Amino acid sequence: MKIELPTLEQISAGLIQTSQQQGRLYPYPQNLQLGYDKVVLAFLLADKSQSAPASVPEFYQDWCEKPFEEWGVEVDEEIDGSDTLLFLGEPTELTIELAEAFGGSTLSQEQSRIATILLQRCQAHPQGAQIYTKFRRFIVEHPVLSNQELVEAKGYFGLGIGLSDLLEECYEIAPSCYQLEGNFYACPYCHALAAVDREQAIANPNCNRCQPGRRLKKKVKLSNDCLKLKRGIERFWFYPGRAEIRLYEKLTELGLQVELYPERDRYDLRVTFPDGKVWALDLKDYSNPYLLLKRLGDEPIPKDPPWDEAYIVIPNERKKERPAYLKELKSRWRWQDVRPVFDDAIFVLAKKKLEEFPVQRTAQAPPTGEGSTSSSKITSRTKKRKREHERN
């Protein structure tokens, strides 16, 4: 008997619940206990009872930190054997995705609640679409802030908009366990707060540029009053948002008309070509292609605002981690009017289509609006501070 995907989903839901208890394992979340029982049963049926984890604490502290290929029992083939459920006591990307497949988690509920409030307030504002885009983009560009930067940003989003309280809800005080010799550091690639292990700063497990756990040779020193994005906002807005902004900027540099988060995030990018044809692009950043398929639903990309072609776009980094990613995705693809593609490929397709039009093109300026100058000052000051403190 092998450990099936539903069991791993239940265990993951329990691990997320444990993480919300600040690492306190007892009382055991019911999902973790039931998932553990099913793991032990798999060992019993495989006649390997002596090798099974002896208790929930042992399973949590040891087994969840090691790759599935070291468990000593067969695990569902949709799961990569090198994956783990925890990394330094924190749920991994896979764990969050499995918990979502199980029926949601406190992390997604946190993000959904803030997203709902943001949409409601923006719908009541005459410039709601622009405000929504600026708020989301600010989150993507500021995974960490000092207290002063948060105060400035709250002033900007509070003035005539009423989003200062919502912005504050997206951040939390950086835990002391992230400090290295009394200082906080950020990854030089994704700019999120760097983890610490064995007295060295290491790559954030969700940073696509680095192998999880690798020592950072370069790092960005942060202020001692550092604030970080809450985990749900970080996982569902920040990390996917980096790929969204990157693709947005590359397409606008081609001279295309690109709208970021059209109609308050019906999908991620709406690209209009010179002949009026429209592409709808929705970025999906999942480590496991099979769990992504589970999340797409009956209508992967809404038909409003209307489009002529639609694509589910996967960050190119996923191809590096899992070379067969797109092949696995296409093996169970069931939607005729939407295609899956990597972000580097969609850029090539857009560039090729644009070559059909001989008209001289100029780069599209980033969208502007009320308060854009103040927002850019905050961003520029943050980037300047990071450059000043970057060191080996």
Residue 360: inside a domain, yes or no? Answer: no
Kindly list the distances between the CA atom of residue 185 and the CA atoms of 21, 80, 98, 151, 169, in Å, as whole numbers in the listed order: 25, 31, 29, 21, 22
Cβ within 8 Å of residue 102, ≥6 positions away: 6, 9, 10, 12, 13, 31
Q: Identify whether residues 222 and 244 lie together within a single domain.
A: no
Tens of pLDDT, residues 248-263 = 999 999 999 999 999 9
Who has greater pLDDT, 138 or 21?
A: 138
CATH number at residue 301: 3.40.1350
Q: Identify whether residues 44 and 74 lie together within a single domain.
A: yes
Cβ within 8 Å of residue 140, ≥6 positions away: 237, 238, 241, 242, 244, 245
Q: What pLDDT does residue 362 have? A: 46
The three state secondary structure string of 281-334 is EEECCCCCHHHHHHHHCCCCCCCCCCCCEEEEEECCHHHHHCCCHHHHHHHCCC
Here the tokens at position 188 are: 């030089």
Residue 317: inside a domain, yes or no? Answer: yes
266 neighbors 302 (Cβ within 8 angstroms): yes
Average pLDDT over residues 56-61: 95
Q: Identify whether residues 172 and 94 lie together within a single domain.
A: no
Q: What pLDDT does residue 378 have? A: 55
Residue 83: inside a domain, yes or no? Answer: yes
pLDDT at residue 392 greater than cutoff 50: no
Average pLDDT over residues 186-207: 80
Q: Identify whether residues 78 and 186 lie together within a single domain.
A: no
250 neighbors 127 (Cβ within 8 angstroms): no
* pTM of this structure: 0.84
Q: What pLDDT does residue 306 have? A: 96
Q: Identify whether residues 331 and 253 lie together within a single domain.
A: yes
Q: How confident is the model at residue 231 (pLDDT cuts 50, 70, 90)?
A: confident
Across the chain, mean pLDDT equals 87
Q: What pLDDT does residue 212 have? A: 59
The rounded distance, in Å, linking the Cα atoms of 350 and 309 is 11
Residue 148: inside a domain, yes or no? Answer: yes
Residue 364: inside a domain, yes or no? Answer: no
Q: Identify whether residues 112 and 227 lie together within a single domain.
A: yes
Q: What pLDDT does residue 109 have? A: 82
Side-chain half-sphere exposure of 234, counting CA atoms within 13 A: 21
Q: What domain count does the chain have?
A: 3
Q: Identify whether residues 118 and 225 lie together within a single domain.
A: yes
Tens of pLDDT, residues 341-386 = 999 999 999 999 999 887 544 445 454 443 444 455 555 555 554 4
pLDDT at residue 104 greater than cutoff 80: no
Q: What pLDDT does residue 43 have? A: 94
Residue 359: inside a domain, yes or no? Answer: no
- Out of 199-213, 275-289, 347-361, the most confident range is 275-289
pLDDT at residue 106 greater than cutoff 90: no
Residue 365: inside a domain, yes or no? Answer: no
Q: How confident is the model at residue 145 (pLDDT cuts 50, 70, 90)?
A: very high
Q: What pLDDT does residue 211 have? A: 63
Q: What pLDDT does residue 218 have? A: 79
pLDDT at residue 75 greater than cutoff 70: yes
Q: Identify whether residues 204 and 254 lie together within a single domain.
A: no
Residue 94: inside a domain, yes or no? Answer: yes
Q: How confident is the model at residue 123 (pLDDT cuts 50, 70, 90)?
A: confident
Q: Which domain holds residue 264?
A: 239-354
* Beta-strand pair 219-221/390-391: antiparallel
